[in-house]
Amino acid sequence: MKVDGTPYRSLWWDAEAEALQIIDQRWLPHDFRIEQLDSLEDFALAIRDMHVRGAPLIGATAAYGMALAMRLDPSDAALQQSWDDLNKTRPTAINLRWALNRCRDLLLGLPPGQRQAAALSLAHEIAEEDVEINRRIGEHGLKVIQNIAAKKTDGSPVRLLTHCNAGWIATVDWGTATSPMYQAHDAGVPLHVWVDETRPRNQGALTAWELGSHGIPHSYITDNAGGHLMQHGQVDMVIIGTDRTTCQGDVCNKIGTYLKALAARDNDIPFYVALPSPTIDWTVTDGITEIPIEDRSPEEVSHIQGRTAEGTISSLQVTPNGTGVANPAFDVTPNHLVTGLITERGICAASEAGLAALFPEMAAKVVENGS
């Protein structure tokens, strides 16, 4: 995607510096900053403190972190320590562990002298795979949007509602929930996107920044406005991303997603989830009881970051002194509230049978391992 006319991905390898470059998303949408990750500590901090965010991007970043670790020390002990250090940064998004396991499985089978080159090659492969997966998700989601548009006789736009940021900066490129939007817009389908602010980190502002850069009409709304808009017939479809999906189709996404699903069901509005296959956790059945929900810093709730009238970026406290804060970062939407799962292989029901039909080799592997 483009920023001020210049094509970017959310991360890229600088061959001359032999280092990973990332867009430091803590400053968006007010300031566009690029950061170079030079140490394993840099990688762990970038993931934990959300310099990078979004399940697919976290996984790709971690793969590059493993490549750096193997350059510094390709021993078995360093390999396991690097896996441990990166794995503990974010507990909810399954792509992190998926990417780390993929790296470890490959590297353990190689002599130490071959691990550095193999790890970097695998990181490139994971990044490129993510781009292609998300492009294909967009192709399948485009058909859903086109079907809705075809039923409109008044020429009005297809009105989408999305929560959090499942855009190109949450992946390597394209995004998950935004990929169908980009492809629909580019195909000439009129759109209007309702963008939830997504407290406490206001990640909807990142989605608004993305959509504005691409020329897609949109409105930024409070998290609690979605139900009202649905009641008054102003939403045609809800589409979100997910950080972890169970084998039976429960989806874990940014806090507040579950309430959108309930409102959509009450108003007979289709609720779709766009997900790359690495976000499917085939070892988990019941998302509500089995997925660990990350509790993040109270300051994310008690303070809010924004641009002042003078143009500086500042943080302001919004709670009274001494008020306790709880900050669960995700919630789980049960599969019966999900209209369909949009994957790189097509759209399926949010069920074990639906996922197994699209990904039979993955489902069979779980059975084979006895999980």
DSSP letters, 280-340, are: EETT-S-HHHHSPPPB--THHHHEEEEE-TTS-EEEEE-S-TT-----B-EEEE-GGG-SE
Sign of the CA dihedral with 249 first, then 255, 258, and 260 last? negative
Record the tokens describing residue 356, joined without a space.
């197994």
C-alpha 107/C-alpha 114 separation (Å) is: 8
Distance from the Cα of residue 296 to its chain's centroid: 17
Is 244 in contact with 254 (CB distance < 8 Å)? no
Euclidean distance between the first and the last CA atom of the chain, given in angstroms as a whole number: 39
Is residue 266 among the annotated active site residues? Answer: no
* Exposure string for 276-297, b = 16+ CB within 10 A, e = fewer: bbbbbbbebeebeeebeebebe
Helix axes 94-108, 76-87, angle to 10 degrees: 180
Round to whole Å and give the CA distance between 159 and 239. 11
CA separation for the pair 271, 147 (Å, rounded):
15
Tokens, residue 96: 């992190």
- The helix/strand/coil state of 352 is helix
CB 81 within 8 A of CB 282: no
Q: For 211, list phi and psi in degrees, rounded to 5.
A: -65, -40
Give residue 80's Cα distance to chain centre: 26
Residue in 42, 130, 236, 243 annotated catalytic: 243
Q: Which of 193, 181, 196, 170 has its CA nearest to residue 137?
A: 181
Q: Phi/psi at 159 (nearest 5 deg)?
A: -100, 110
Report the catalytic residues: 243
